[in-house]
Chains A and B, each alone.
Chain A
């Protein structure tokens, strides 16, 4: 079971209370971009085995979006943070460095 703490309402919400929103921190390319770049933005995802940054919506709760950093192998959750950001917060990145050395490679 996956429990994510919603940073908007503080509930440790179970997975079925949430709606997944896919990979986080995507940057839209275009207008006027190359087709290949736009295809990458639309369809190509990293999907590594291990550390993922994801968007989630607390659909059956406060209804707000948030971000989560977790490991898809162990289901360990490194942290959740506000949706109003373009990159993961430093403390979560440091925590992941600590627990999964070399994950950035």
Chain B
């Protein structure tokens, strides 16, 4: 078995907010009718089904609503394969797809009082009304990304691994020292 590494191990930047790569994170995409998969999610991921655009829990242990027929299960990196296995077992009679996408993603944390501003510069999202427990899939400059509030001043950003360097550079530029608009 090869040694798994995240996209940009140890990458970090400090400015009006700090940007940190979060290392290896477990992620499982689960597609299917939400009503049919709810019980299995509760049993395997120990989380309730989130409502529209909500996330229950967070990195390492959580479930996020991605679309009307898709959930993202967050877990420890090592557990992703066994979670897929358990979901497939629980849902063997339901039409579904569970896939371990841990290695297809990169995760960043944007931390600091200006975290909302760092994101607002890059995404067409009204960060003034962005709430705790909400997950937003959107466009970050030229690539798709998703983020949620992981604390009052912390935002976790998920993007595709293939654009990890691009997204890190974007966030670092957006968080450059002295570049805060001071809007929020």
Interface residues of A (CB under 8 A from B): 8-11, 13-14, 16-17, 59-64
- 11 further A-B contacts with Cβ under 8 Å, apart from A60-B139, A60-B144, are A8-B68, A10-B52, A11-B136, A14-B124, A17-B124, A17-B138, A60-B137, A60-B138, A61-B137, A62-B67, A62-B68
Q: Determine the main DSSP class of A at the interface with B.
A: loop
Q: How far is the CB of A22 from chain B (nearest CB, A)?
A: 21
Interface residues of B (CB under 8 A from A): 52-53, 66-68, 70, 124, 136-139, 144
> How far is B11's CA from A95's CA once the two chains are assembled, in angstroms?
53
Q: Number of residue pairs across A and B with beta carbons under 8 Å?
A: 33
A17 touches B139 (CB 8 A): yes
> How far is B136's CA from A61's CA once the two chains are assembled, in angstroms?
8
8 tightest A-B CB contacts, nearest first? A62-B67, A14-B124, A60-B139, A60-B144, A61-B137, A17-B139, A8-B68, A17-B124
CB<8 Å pairs between A and B, sample of 9: A8-B68, A9-B52, A10-B52, A16-B124, A16-B139, A60-B144, A61-B138, A62-B66, A64-B68
> How far is B124's CA from A63's CA once the two chains are assembled, in angstroms?
16
> How far is B13's CA from A57's CA once the two chains are assembled, in angstroms?
35
Q: How far is the CB of B97 from chain A (nearest CB, A)?
A: 14
Contacts of B66 in A (CB 8 A): 62
> How far is B138's CA from A13's CA once the two chains are assembled, in angstroms?
9
Contacts of A61 in B (CB 8 A): 137-138
A9 touches B124 (CB 8 A): no
Contacts of B70 in A (CB 8 A): 62
> How far is B171's CA from A100's CA once the two chains are assembled, in angstroms?
45
Q: How far is the CB of B118 from chain A (nearest CB, A)?
A: 18
> How far is B139's CA from A63's CA once the two chains are assembled, in angstroms?
12
